[in-house]
Amino acid sequence: MFPYPSGMLHMGHVRVYTISDTLARFRKMLGYDVIHPMGWDAFGLPAENAAMERGIHPVDWTISNISSMKKQMERILADFDWDREVTTCNPDYYKWTQYLFLQMYKARLAYQKEAIVNWDPVDQTVLANEQVDSDGRSWRSGAKVERRKLKQWFFKITDFAESLLNDLDLLDKWPDHVKQMQRNWIGKSKGAEFDFIVASKRSEFIVKVFTSRPDTIFGVQYLAISIDHPLLSEKWLPQNTCSQVLQFVEKIRQQQLFELNDVNIGQGMHTGVFAKHPITGISIPVYVTSYVVPDYGTGALMGVPAHDERDWEFVKANHIISEENIKRVIMPVIQDNTTLYSNKVFTSRGILTAECGQYAGLSSDDAEKAIVEDAQKTGYGRWSVQYRLRDWLISRQRYWGTPIPVIHCAKCDVVPVPESELPILLPTNVTFSGRGGSPLKQVQEWLNCKCPKCQGPAIRDTDTMDTFVDSSWYFMRYADSKNSNQPFCSKKASNLLPVDVYIGGIEHANLHLLYSRFFTKFMFKQGMYTLKGDTTEPGQDEPFKQLVTQAHPNKPIQISTGITPVVSFEKMSKSKYNGVDPETTINNYGADATRLHILFKAPVSEVLEWEDASIIGMQRWIARVWRLVENVSEKISEKISEKVSEKVSEKVSEKVPSANNYSPNFDLSILSKEDKETYRIINVTIKEVTADYKNSTFNTAVSSLIKLTNHLTSISPLQNDNASKNSIVDSPIYEHGVKTLVKMMAPMAPSIGEELWEILNQHTTSVFEELWPEVDTECLSANEVTCVVQINGKMRFSIMIPSTILQDNLSIEKLILESENGKKWIGKMNADKKIKKIIHASGGKI
C-alpha cells in the first residue's frame, strides 16, 4: 500500500516496506521477475490544512514531503522500482482518474443524488459511510459528524454487492478476519417486504417494511418509520399531532443516532397515523423513531416486541404495550422450559402459535414460505434481499483532490467533460479561507466555462473526488505508469495483474480494500484488461491475490461492523511504537538491525511492541555473523595467494535455476562425521527458512538463522582455538555454511548481507545476483545420534548410534555392549553383578 506523503515515514510505514522489500529481494533470488513499485497517495486534506496553517501551497507541501520520504525510504534500504512511480496528484495520473469517472458515468455507475450526508464540521466536507465510525465520528478529524442534505456524486458500488460478497470465498490467501469484516460490511440479509396500508379520506399511502422474519407477521403490534420517511408530511399526519411530531423529528435529527447496531434504542413518538395489518386487518399504530435506519431496507419496520430484542426494548422504553399484552406468535419447539418463553423476548425460530390463523402449527421455515408465497399471490408482500452496503459517496467540497469532470449547464443540466478535454486541471491560484465550501468556487476563470453540448455559458462542478478513488486503481497504473494515451496498456496489465502480494495495515479492510475490489471488477468488466485463461472464471476480477496485513497498536477494530475508531493512519499516534522515530533508530542501530528487529519481534499480522533493548540483540547477531565471515575470508585469501594462477571463484551470476545450486565444491562421501552433521544442519535451516520466507513468518526465519549461527560458531576456531582450528576452517562445509547463512539473511538485512558477501567472494558478485540456496533433501535426517549411557543412574559414557537402528533396541544394546566403553564399564560385570534391566529412553527428536 502506498503511503500518504505526510512528510515523515513513521514506524508503521517502515514495517510495511521492510516486509515488502524483504519479500521482493527473496523472490528475486528465487529467480522471479519481481516488480516492487512505490507511489504516493498524494491528494487529501492535510495538504490543504498545511496551506491554511502555514501558507504553503498544497503542491509545494506535497512535493517536498515526497522528496523527504523518498530519502527516508532509501535509508531503510527499500529497493523500489522508482521508474514505475505513481503520484496521484500529478495531472498525468489524475487525468486517468477523471477518465475512469467518465467510464463509470457512461455505465450509469456514477450518479448525482440529493442525499442526507455525513458532514464533518471540522474538515468542512462530506464523508462516506465507511469514514464514519460507530460512534458517529469522522475517521480523520474525529469530529462528531452532522447530517446535511446536499446534492452529491455517488458510485454505485451496490451493483457489485453480490460479487463483492461471493468472490471473498475465492480469496484463499486473504486473512479470514478481513474477509469477515467485508462480509459484515456488505451485510446481505434475506427476508421479505410487506405492505401496510394507511388510508385517509382521499387516498392511501403504502408503508413498506423489510423483515428478516416473515414468520412473525402475526406478532406485529406497531410500525416504526425513520425520521426521513415520506409519511412524515402534513399531508399524512393528523392535524392534532402534526406539529408535535415534526418537532420531535427535528430534535432526533440533531441527536444523530442512526446506527443500525446502536444499542441505544432511543425515543419514539406515535405519529397519530394507523396502518392496516395486511392479513388480519387490525389497526396498527405507526411510530417514528431513531432506531430505524433511514437508508436501510425500506426505512420502516414492523415492530414485533415478542420476538425482536430492539422492538422489546422499544415498547418498554416508551411504555407502548404492557408486558402481558405482548403478543407471542412463535413458541419454542421444545417447551419444557416455560419460563424462557413467558418472561423474555424469544428470538429463535420455532413453531407458530394458535394466534397465527391458517399458519398455526407450522415451523418458522415452512410458515415463511407459505406466508410470503400467499402474500405474493395476493400482492401485499414479496421476497426481498437487502444489503447493508450503501452506494459510495465520492463528492468532497475540498480543493486538493481530483476535480470531478462534469459541467453544469442551465439548459442541458449535467454534461460530462469530453474525454479529449481531460485532464481538467486544478487551478493553482486559489486562496484557502478555511471557511466552508470549496475554494474552487472562488476561482471565476476556472469555474466559468462553455457547455460542451450547447456552447452556452456553464459552470464546472466544484467538488473533487474522495481520495479513495485515486487509490482504487493506482496498483494497475504500475503496470504502465508512463502511458499518456490510456490508464494503462491492456496487454501489459493483463500480463501482470492481479497483484501477487499486497501488504498494508488492517485499518483499510472496509475502505481501500473494498473500493479497490469494486474498481477492479468494474475495469475488468469494461474489458480494460484480461487474464490468461478463462475470463468467465470467477475471481479473475480481483485485485490482490494475497493480502498481508499488520495490526497497528491503538487501532482496535469492531469485528461486527469492521469500523476502525478515530485514529487515522497518516496521523502520528501517541502509541509507543508509532512514536518511535525511524531516523533516530536507524542512526543509532543501523538500518539492518532496525529491519531485523521489526521482522523478528512480532509475526507480521500482530502488533509490534517497540523495544530498543532487543534491537541490540540483532546488532550482536550481525557482529557474530561478521566474525564467522572473517574466519572464512582469512582462509580464502590464504588459498588465493597460494594458488595465484588459479581461477578465483565460479560466479553463479547467470540466473538459471539449477537443481544443484546448493552443491558446493566438495565430495560428501569423504566428509568427517562432524562435517556431515554441519551439512545436515545447514540443509535443515535452508528448508525451514525458505518456508518461513514463503509464509512471511520472518520471526521464525530469524531464529533459525540465529541457530545456524550458533552452530557454526560452536565449531569455529573462535571457540576451539587449539585443536581443530585449521581442519575446521579449511573444511569446505564450514565455508559453505557461512555463505549460505549470509545469503539467507541478506533479504532482511541487505547492507550487511551485501558487505559480507563481498568479503566472502573477493568483490566479485552481489549477493542479490545469487540464487537462493536449495535444500539437499537427502541429507535432512541425521545419520547418527548421540546416545548417552547411564549405569546405575550415573552417566558413564556416550556413543554414536546410526539413526537407521533407532527403533531397534536389540541392535542398540549390542552396539553399546561391544563398544570400547561398553566393554570397559559393563564388561566388568560378573556373576554377582548382572544386568537386570535395560531402559531405553529416546528423547523423541533426533
- Could you list the residues that contact Zn ion (CB under 5 A)? 409, 411-412, 451, 453-454, 456
Question: What DSSP string describes 400-442?
Answer: SSPBP-EEEETTTEEEEPPGGG---PPPS------SSS-GGGG
Q: Which does 668 bind (CB under 5 to 8 A by kind): ligand ANZ, Zn ion, none?
A: none
Residue from the set 34, 56, 293, 317 that interacts with ligand ANZ by CB under 6 A: 293
Could you tell me the CA-to-CA distances from 409 to 150, 451, 456, 462 in Å, in that order?
19, 6, 8, 13
Burial class (CB within 10 angstroms; exposed 0-12, middle 13-18, buried 19+) of 626: middle
Q: Which does 411 bind (CB under 5 to 8 A by kind): Zn ion, ligand ANZ, none?
A: Zn ion
**Residue 102 or residue 293: which is nearer to ligand ANZ going by CB?**
293
- The greatest distance separating any two alpha carbons of the chain, rounded to the nearest whole angstrom, comes to 122
* Cα 8-14-20 angle, rounded to 5 deg: 135
* Cα 681-687-688 angle, rounded to 5 deg: 90
User: Does the protein bind ligand ANZ through residue 260 (CB under 6 A)?
Assistant: yes
**Residue 451 or residue 812: which is nearer to Zn ion going by CB?**
451
Q: Which residues of 484-507 are buried (b: 16+ CB within 10 A; e: fewer)?
A: eeebbeeeebeebbbbebbbbbbb
Q: Which does 245 bind (CB under 5 to 8 A by kind): ligand ANZ, Zn ion, none?
A: none
Question: What's the DSSP call for residue 62?
Answer: H
**Residue 212 or residue 353: which is nearer to ligand ANZ going by CB?**
212
**Residue 456 or residue 657: which is nearer to Zn ion going by CB?**
456
Residue 91 preceded by cis peptide, ω within 30: no
Nearest to 309 by CA among 275, 261, 267: 261
User: Does the protein bind ligand ANZ through residue 302 (CB under 6 A)?
Assistant: yes
- Beta carbon of residue 164, minimum distance to ligand ANZ (angstroms, whole number): 17
Q: How far apart are CA 439 and CA 429, in angstroms?
A: 10
Helices (H), 219-308: 239-255
Helices (H), 662-731: 673-694, 698-714, 725-730
Q: Which does 436 bind (CB under 5 to 8 A by kind): ligand ANZ, Zn ion, none?
A: none
User: Does the protein bind ligand ANZ through residue 331 (CB under 6 A)?
Assistant: no
User: Does the protein bind ligand ANZ through residue 604 (CB under 6 A)?
Assistant: no
Residue from the set 278, 297, 543, 753 that interacts with ligand ANZ by CB under 6 A: 297
**Residue 412 or residue 489: which is nearer to Zn ion going by CB?**
412
x/- mask, ligand ANZ, residues 365-394, rule CB under 6 A, reads: ---------------------x--------
Q: How far apart are CA 460 and CA 458, in angstroms?
A: 7
Residue 450 half-sphere exposure toward CB, CA atoms < 13 A: 6
User: Does the protein bind ligand ANZ through residue 268 (CB under 6 A)?
Assistant: no
- Beta carbon of residue 167, minimum distance to ligand ANZ (angstroms, whole number): 21
- Beta carbon of residue 409, minimum distance to Zn ion (angstroms, whole number): 3
User: Does the protein bind ligand ANZ through residue 299 (CB under 6 A)?
Assistant: yes
Q: How far apart are CA 348 and CA 352, in angstroms?
A: 12
Tell me the site size for ligand ANZ, rule CB under 6 A.
18
User: Does the protein bind ligand ANZ through residue 216 (CB under 6 A)?
Assistant: yes
**Residue 424 or residue 469: which is nearer to Zn ion going by CB?**
424
Q: Amino acid identity of 220?
A: V
Q: How far apart are CA 753 and CA 747, in angstroms?
A: 8
- Beta carbon of residue 454, minimum distance to Zn ion (angstroms, whole number): 3
User: Does the protein bind ligand ANZ through residue 314 (CB under 6 A)?
Assistant: no
- Terminal Cα distance for the chain, rounded: 44
User: Does the protein bind ligand ANZ through residue 221 (CB under 6 A)?
Assistant: no
User: Does the protein bind ligand ANZ through residue 296 (CB under 6 A)?
Assistant: yes
User: Does the protein bind ligand ANZ through residue 292 (CB under 6 A)?
Assistant: yes
- Beta carbon of residue 702, minimum distance to ligand ANZ (angstroms, whole number): 46
Q: How far apart are CA 210 and CA 220, in angstroms?
A: 13
User: Does the protein bind ligand ANZ through residue 70 (CB under 6 A)?
Assistant: no
- Beta carbon of residue 307, minimum distance to ligand ANZ (angstroms, whole number): 3
Q: Which does 409 bind (CB under 5 to 8 A by kind): Zn ion, ligand ANZ, none?
A: Zn ion
Q: Which does 292 bind (CB under 5 to 8 A by kind): Zn ion, ligand ANZ, none?
A: ligand ANZ
- Beta carbon of residue 413, minimum distance to Zn ion (angstroms, whole number): 8
**Residue 193 or residue 541: which is nearer to ligand ANZ going by CB?**
193
Q: How far apart are CA 807 and CA 809, in angstroms?
A: 6
Burial class (CB within 10 angstroms; exposed 0-12, middle 13-18, buried 19+) of 34: middle
Q: Which three cell numbers stand for residue 254?
A: 440533531
User: Does the protein bind ligand ANZ through residue 158 (CB under 6 A)?
Assistant: no
Q: Which does 724 bind (CB under 5 to 8 A by kind): ligand ANZ, Zn ion, none?
A: none
Stretch that binds ligand ANZ, among 198-206, 297-305, 735-743, 753-761 (CB under 6 A): 297-305
User: Does the protein bind ligand ANZ through residue 308 (CB under 6 A)?
Assistant: yes
Residue where the block lists cell 485514529: 567
- Separation of CA 322 from chain center: 48
Q: Which does 453 bind (CB under 5 to 8 A by kind): Zn ion, ligand ANZ, none?
A: Zn ion
**Residue 192 or residue 632: which is nearer to ligand ANZ going by CB?**
192
User: Does the protein bind ligand ANZ through residue 150 (CB under 6 A)?
Assistant: no
Stretch that binds ligand ANZ, among 210-218, 238-246, 611-619, 761-769 (CB under 6 A): 210-218
**Residue 375 or residue 426: which is nearer to ligand ANZ going by CB?**
375
Residue 127 half-sphere exposure toward CB, CA atoms < 13 A: 26
CB 246 within 8 A of CB 210: no
Q: Give the footprint of ligand ANZ on this chain (CB under 6 A).
A: 189, 210-213, 216, 260, 292-293, 296-297, 299, 301-302, 304, 307-308, 386
